[in-house]
Structure 1
Amino acid sequence: MSAEIAISDYSNNPTRGGVEKIRFGNVTIFKTSVGEMDNNVYLLVDERAPENSLLIDAANNPNHLRALVGQAGAKVTTILTTHSHEDHIVALPDLLEATGARHVTSIIDAKDIPVPAEQLYGDDEVVTFGQDIPLHTFLLRGHTPGGLCLSLSAADAGVSSQSLADGTPSHHLFVGDSLFPGGIGGTNTDAEFQSLLGDVVKRVFERFPDDTVVHPGHGKDTTVGVERPHISTWRERGW
């Protein structure tokens, strides 16, 4: 029997192998960091239907991820890969076999991911989990040809009006390696940089309010409001 995992309340201070959680209406968001590159993995559980949970980026340490799912009282039926970089898929074959989940990913990046997907997504589509909670998809192009990102709104998660009035954010975004505290994800050419920055501006900063929480593929979370004022600085420095 595996050792019990310590799960703490969200502090935005991830440590490798640690797990933090936050409640967002009917949804509990679990965040853990795995592997030598400290990849973030997110488990989304609708507490009304934990048997239909979703995992974002089966990056590494499959034993830890399986233990997390079990301790959360969940069954993962969908594993979503945000983009094609190898550090985000090390545990994917193991987790797919262990859970029997379907694999879904970006319609653009799929050709570069060595694990087949049952369904491919592009812009403005919907992935569901739990009791048909919708995650709205959008692509951010540049870190890879087309990273698949997700938006979970307070309305769709069943957040109460009182919770919103008390400061619960309006949205949670899961953006892979396309946006971090202090800048966009890494790119190799100016064309890729301009593409990614343009997509982040149009599909994140022009679409979501300041209180939106941004969950990246590594490290700490941030918010749209914290990052939005720095667009011109990012553009000038070119990275």
Structure 2
Amino acid sequence: MATDSSLIHDLPAITVRRVAVSEMSNNVYLLTAKKSGVQVLIDAADDVPAIRAMLAEAAVDTPCAPQLRAVLTTHRHWDHIRALPELAADVETVAGQDDAGAIEEAEGVRIDRRVDHGDLVQYDGIALDVIQLRGHTPGSVAFVYPVEDGPTHIFTGDSLFPGGVGKTWSAEDFRTLIDDVEARLFAAFPDDTVIHPGHGDPTTLGAERPELAAWRERGW
């Protein structure tokens, strides 16, 4: 079951909407550029009707005709990609280099752009930096939207949540993930940075930073 979609941030140049879908309560995010009407979807998890309803609702966020330009995927797990086949037609699909092949095999879609750490994904009115956060999956990526004179917004998939990093399946994977999260997120961005996870509520780096050592100590 999907929750009703909601406008969660009205930023100077874009809006951010979210709907939670499926039995896993996956967050699907929609960015709409106010001046161009360009839209970027992050994680086409499930429930195409709910996602299409969110796209339609976002028409009020721009005076231009809205146009879905791209679907970005944070990682390859099945619960984040089930709506890709129906939404990927006529738009660019983007995923991490090391997860793209698994996504193509699982859903029968083509990943048009395979991104690596440090890449920039840019459309008319929306520019997102790519940060690779290895460990939850080999090719997990976060998408970073910087805001002039305001907090940065980071869409982390299942790599960072309120209360800890994402699930891993070995001690080595955990060390890789906690190292990446610490170096590439906590050491690189200020406390007011907003984290939009793949499930559940948003948080900030400042709210989570005091617990980093405890996460590393407990090993999950």
2:54 is matched with: 68
Structure 1 residues 62, 16: closer, same or farther in 2, change over 3 A? closer
Of 83, 96, 113 in structure 1, the residue corresponding to residue 75 of structure 2 is 83
For structure 2, the residue ranges without an aligned partner over 5 or more in a row are: 60-65
SS at match of 2:137: coil
**1:146 — aligned with what?**
139
Quote the residue 1:160 is aligned against. Answer: none
State the alpha-carbon separation in 2 of the partners of residues 16 and 228 from structure 1. 31
| 3-state secondary structure, aligned to 1:227 | helix
Q: Structure 2: which amino acid aligns with 1:111?
A: G
| Percent identical | 41
Report what 2:97 is aligned to.
Answer: 107
Match of 2:114 in 1: 120
RMSD of aligned alpha carbons: 1.2
Contact preservation (8 Å) 2:74, 2:157: yes
1:18 Cα deviation from its structure 2 partner? 1.7
Shift of 1:176: 0.4
Under a length normalisation based on structure 1, what TM-score does the superposition of the two structures give? 0.85
Instruction: Determine the C-alpha separation between the residues in 2 that align with 1:71 and 1:200.
Output: 34
1:139-178 aligned within 5 A: 139-155=132-148, 164=149, 169-178=150-159
* Structure 1 residue matching 2:29: 3-state secondary structure: strand
Displacement of 1:130 in angstroms is: 3.2
2:84 to 92, 99, 108: 92
Deviation (angstroms), 1:16 = 3.6
Report deviation, 1:129: 2.6
Moved over 2 A (4+): none
Aligned match of 2:45 in 45, 59, 62?
59
Query: Equivalent of 1:30, from 11, 17, 26?
Result: 17
Q: Which runs of 5+ in 1 are unaligned?
A: 1-14, 156-163
Give the stretch that moved more between structures: 105-114 or 66-75.
66-75
CA contact (8 A) 1:45 1:130 kept: no
Partner Cα separation in structure 2 for residue 232 and residue 125 of structure 1? 29
CA distance in 1, matches of 2:160, 2:144: 14
Partner of residue 62, structure 2: none
Aligned-pair CA distance for 1:28: 0.2
The alpha-carbon deviation at position 181 of structure 1 amounts to 0.3
Q: Is the 8 A contact 1:151 1:171 kept in 2?
A: yes
Counterpart residue identity of residue 25, structure 2:
D
The answer to whether residue 179 in structure 2 is matched with residue 198 in structure 1 is yes
SS in 2 for 1:141: coil
What CA distance in whole angstroms lies between the structure 1 residues aligned with 2:93 and 2:154? Answer: 20
Aligned counterparts of 2:193 and 2:28: Cα–Cα separation in 1? 19
> Do the aligned partners of 2:2 and 2:50 also contact (CA within 8 Å) in 1?
no
Give the superposition deviation at 1:77.
0.9
Match of 2:194 among 178, 190, 213: 213
TM-score with structure 2 setting the length = 0.92
Aligned partners of 1:137 and 1:49: how far apart in 2?
A: 22
